[in-house]
Structure 1
């Protein structure tokens, strides 16, 4: 029985909605419920109702004892991917009406000129120019033409536009023209429907700032009403604590803060890995971690280096650029529901599309016709037919075999097991490339990192992927299948401010930056204290964006003291790590100042248990295809609930745990540590190839 008050984390994924509740004593309850893409609010309430029923409470009593409900949602991302956003009107400086169409004038893949750019989110008839001009330093060259603003507002109303984005040239240096425009627009528009670039994305860079502001407006029509409605329904059902949202920066914020910039939710769910990996860093005894969070639809990877997370201000969603502070998360279309096919040349392909939760993989028996990664795992014996995901599903092994036979056996003569092995090997290869992208390609030695296998499907692939990369250890938390929902309970309130400052970096610049930093921290402090007295006093960190003179891109460097030499040394060290050299003694320019403000809540308590080394008994055996080299074997199957700290076993083996299934290969050694999580020591081949 949970002891009030408790905190609840809810993460809506493409296939399942994960719920984790932690009570006043640190006891945890978890639940997975099928997602409702057609009605996310109903999906959230259904998951809460199911959790309440499991622990013997009504939904009202569950919410009545909840001191904080933290939510991660893909609604903003899905709005962009599905093209179902608001009708946006854009006000821009005369002469810059076609910024969205021109973009940055480059292709991200210079040798691939065939794919078209995505459709512009604002058609030209709704991109209206306004007179008035500022220079690069924010000085007014031409006054704002208020008549143009009023005429545009009337035209937007007549056209049925939902909301307005305002992006004037050089507004990052001075937002006066945009602020006055907002005052004029508020006569006709709800403040929730007006978005100004100096607030959304105060960066130098005309296209990025415009695209970010338009994206915030575009997703607002679905995000803001959804959050307001969900909050009202939760209140009606007894919630007394706040509804907070996971932002792309890995921190949490209120609905009112999100309404200021809905684009902050573009990486909402996956960013909760920040809180979860902080917990793992303590339990695993290392702060060099790479998470492999693989669910039903996608796989999200995050790197922690020395306890720090790499951040970015560039999110690319379906070809649209958003400049918002974010955890650097690499997402690939690789999940349990990734669909397997044959291409025109007879080669096995996997994804990028997935089966989702409805209809889902063929083995779910919900009408799915295309075999998936999950179906392949079932045919190989790594998953077992029967009850799955806490009894919410019943896997049909025969249906999975028939689907693979239909796609591969009846066309190219591959037996179901051979086809399934090919599908899994292809998935492992895709995951290996994804891990390399966040590590080796950025100068990090994988031998120094532990791979953290999370998500419902991550522990089925991590041992093979880690082995092929030369990693020595895979760490699998007990709550792997609800990792992001769990991470929400270990997250801080976080708000970010950015100020573009372009000038040579020297002692004079550092003094001016100190003044601006204090100003930004003062504003953040007031906003953070609005969350009440619970939590720590506001904490602040600073970063400087620097580059060499005449460069276009920049690097963010943590700013801890007031010495120019130490900042330059940190910049050159980071530059050398990424590019193999540094331009010693070349002039360095300041590009921007970033200030992050946070308030910490009591985190998830870490409870250690006494360990007594022993070899556990298998609950049964199952015929499993271990690998192409090892073939099929009768493999021990273990129940995770039977494995206590100190348990040791040697692979191949399958462990059925409460939120995930673990598969370890030939010669891998699994141990349960004193925090009751799984540590896998990989049998890494001498040549570094896959076993």
Structure 2
């Protein structure tokens, strides 16, 4: 190919592969999974781009857009090995991050672990200052400029790279936080500074302080990574990348580096963007549940009539973080999940994983511990070679599964079947919990399978849910890279509220709406939402809002309906608004519809009944008994036959 076409490239980097999807304006598409070449993610991404462009014959001058989803911040928060962060807060509040909230993950532990690891924000790097604003934002004690300068000097002397400024009631009036930030800048040192009112606009000091401290924690590494990536792309004559954030929107590198916490779930969010792209082929009336299985976990996401369902609290590395993100539940089921039999003789799968090095025994890299991949290999449900040329070793897989069979007192095949059934059960239970939490009936939802292993388990999961149909993404194994191209560049503005849904407070709500709309500009088509509670509640629900058409009655009714759907009941009591959000598109997504199908049945067959395995270039599909795999215009679908017919198939198989 030559440089006459204008190409857009989506890139997702994980622990084992860099996925690259290139799409031309003329409709051509290239998909590649390239093994990581270096521990440094910037080097791996640049090397993968070089290889993909060379293999596809794409010249740099023909590339118009590069869109990137990264797991860098996710890994920083999981591994927690970056340098500690300094924290500046009000006098008397230096222990907020240590004390946390009263909620406990383990109710009966006599000495529970701190909610925030002390090493991230050690006591020696927590600085308390005078100055105070009250809950209305009024100054009750001024800042001391000399004290600020002294604290700034001490932070520099301690060698901190990053500083989190967390002052009480800064969401009401940020003047004190801005003054502290200016004092830190005045030191002349290149400190990475995060101000709490810019990270989270809502009240709640612990949640806001933690989000701000983690934002500062991620800033130095994120800046270095994005600087190195940008420089490497410029040297190659390639454009500046757009960066996917945790709510599946795009931002410029400078904006991403300024607020790196927004990248914490960028990889899964990019995948959700890819799933959403595929559901555009239906009328949107049926909720979709995405099932993306990788090497360590299975990510479960939800897509409703209004798009990807987002949440405000995400769990990363044992931390509950206040962050708007695609609401994804990770179940510890992946190809590398370790199989164990406990002392009671019960089978356990995960949460520990062998990762990619040495990986499952079937990888032939020295792994000696049984995993889900080894069980699948024993059952003949995997090809002899994976993407990137990795050959699988049946002898090694059978050897480790023989140990499991011995502990269970059965043959190797029965042991492997038990492992796979356990995986399907764990995924199905995760789907039920996640779907019902959002008021979605999983039996009526449509399953969409992605990732390297989603199609391996999806039909068996659907059986457990009582579902009859599974859609397999044509680009299942590169869904995150594909989703990068399906994300739009967005801008958003949020305002904390303390306003009742009432005729009395409606003018105050409209005044905030007008202020946000003024920042967006007259030509912007703004998508609005609000977070609301019944008076006295703490857990809010986000609902759509149309300032042009809604009145008090319509908004109250919409909240009541959402509350009844999600929580099973509604109240006749005052309703309170806690947050307003307006977002608008800066640049539309490159992909507005799915790519031509990349997966097909072998030998041109229109359909294939189960039990059977189908291997595409990057995805393995298992068709259980009673199910049929069919080609459609959008890819592949698994369809279950009537229950009675399925039972006959099972009986025939047993005979």
TM range (shorter): over 0.9
CA distance in 2, matches of 1:114, 1:665: 48
Q: 1:496 to 1:607 in 2, by over 3 A?
A: closer
Q: Does 1:563 align with 2:548?
A: no
CA distance in 2, matches of 1:285, 1:225: 43
Alignment of 1:15-54 (within 5 A): 15-35=16-36, 38-54=39-55
CA distance in 2, matches of 1:352, 1:341: 10
Q: 1:608 to 1:42 in 2, by over 3 A?
A: closer
The answer for the alignment partner of 1:620 in structure 2 is none
Comparing 481-490 and 548-557, the one that deviates more: 548-557
Q: 1:113 to 1:682 in 2, by over 3 A?
A: farther
Q: 1:100 aligns with which of 97, 101, 105?
A: 97
What is the CA deviation profile of residues 345-372 of structure 1, one whole-angstrom value per residue up to 9, with x for unaligned ones? 3332211122222222211122222222
Alignment of 1:420-569 (within 5 A): 420-524=416-520, 538-561=524-547, 562-569=550-557
Q: Does 1:667 align with 2:626?
A: yes
Which secondary structure does the structure 2 equivalent of 1:351 belong to? strand
Q: 1:520 to 1:324 in 2, by over 3 A?
A: farther
The answer for the alignment partner of 1:681 in structure 2 is 639
Which ranges in structure 2 are unaligned for 5 or more consecutive residues? 651-655
CA distance in 1, matches of 2:77, 2:595: 41
Instruction: Tell whether the 8 Å contact from 2:560 to 2:570 is kept in structure 1 after alignment.
Output: yes
Which secondary structure does the structure 2 equivalent of 1:38 belong to? coil
CA distance in 1, matches of 2:613, 2:521: 50
Per the TM alignment, residue 344 of structure 1 is displaced from its structure 2 partner at its CA by 3.5
CA distance in 1, matches of 2:265, 2:359: 23
The answer for the alignment partner of 2:653 in structure 1 is none
The answer for the alignment partner of 2:601 in structure 1 is 640
Q: Does 1:416 align with 2:412?
A: yes
The answer for the alignment partner of 1:601 in structure 2 is 589
Per the TM alignment, residue 601 of structure 1 is displaced from its structure 2 partner at its CA by 3.1
Which secondary structure does the structure 2 equivalent of 1:346 belong to? coil
CA distance in 1, matches of 2:191, 2:525: 29
Q: 1:557 to 1:158 in 2, by over 3 A?
A: same
Q: 2:274 aligns with which of 276, 282, 286?
A: 276
Q: 1:26 to 1:448 in 2, by over 3 A?
A: same
CA distance in 2, matches of 1:687, 1:155: 75
Q: Does 1:8 align with 2:9?
A: yes
Q: 1:524 to 1:230 in 2, by over 3 A?
A: farther
The answer for the alignment partner of 1:658 in structure 2 is 617
CA distance in 1, matches of 2:645, 2:328: 30
Per the TM alignment, residue 64 of structure 1 is displaced from its structure 2 partner at its CA by 3.2
The answer for the alignment partner of 2:560 in structure 1 is 572
Which secondary structure does the structure 2 equivalent of 1:507 belong to? coil
Per the TM alignment, residue 299 of structure 1 is displaced from its structure 2 partner at its CA by 1.3
The answer for the alignment partner of 2:262 in structure 1 is 264
The answer for the alignment partner of 1:623 in structure 2 is none
The answer for the alignment partner of 2:337 in structure 1 is 338
Which secondary structure does the structure 1 equivalent of 2:505 belong to? helix
CA distance in 2, matches of 1:37, 1:332: 28
Per the TM alignment, residue 653 of structure 1 is displaced from its structure 2 partner at its CA by 2.0
CA distance in 1, matches of 2:424, 2:456: 10
CA distance in 2, matches of 1:441, 1:608: 34
CA distance in 1, matches of 2:645, 2:204: 47
Q: 1:91 aligns with which of 88, 101, 106?
A: 88
CA distance in 1, matches of 2:249, 2:600: 35
What is the CA deviation profile of residues 33-75 of structure 1, one whole-angstrom value per residue up to 9, with x for unaligned ones? 2235721122212322331232245xxx2x3322111111111
Per the TM alignment, residue 682 of structure 1 is displaced from its structure 2 partner at its CA by 1.8
The answer for the alignment partner of 1:127 in structure 2 is 126
Instruction: Tell whether the 8 Å contact from 2:499 to 2:509 is kept in structure 1 after alignment.
Output: no
Root-mean-square deviation (CA, aligned residues, Å) is 2.4
Which secondary structure does the structure 2 equivalent of 1:283 belong to? coil
Per the TM alignment, residue 686 of structure 1 is displaced from its structure 2 partner at its CA by 6.9
Q: 1:394 to 1:421 in 2, by over 3 A?
A: same
Instruction: Tell whether the 8 Å contact from 2:276 to 2:308 is kept in structure 1 after alignment.
Output: no
Q: 1:314 to 1:464 in 2, by over 3 A?
A: same
CA distance in 1, matches of 2:152, 2:327: 37
Which ranges in structure 1 are unaligned for 5 or more consecutive residues? 527-536, 610-637
Q: Does 1:177 align with 2:176?
A: yes
What is the CA deviation profile of residues 267-319 of structure 1, one whole-angstrom value per residue up to 9, with x for unaligned ones? 01000134212321133554521100111122111111224222112122123
Q: 1:164 to 1:471 in 2, by over 3 A?
A: same
Q: 1:442 to 1:20 in 2, by over 3 A?
A: same
CA distance in 2, matches of 1:491, 1:639: 26
CA distance in 1, matches of 2:50, 2:42: 12
Per the TM alignment, residue 539 of structure 1 is displaced from its structure 2 partner at its CA by 3.3
The answer for the alignment partner of 1:305 in structure 2 is 304
CA distance in 2, matches of 1:79, 1:36: 20
The answer for the alignment partner of 1:245 in structure 2 is 243
Number of aligned residues: 641
Q: 1:607 to 1:578 in 2, by over 3 A?
A: closer
Which secondary structure does the structure 2 equivalent of 1:208 belong to? helix
Which secondary structure does the structure 1 equivalent of 2:570 belong to? coil
Q: 1:454 to 1:192 in 2, by over 3 A?
A: farther
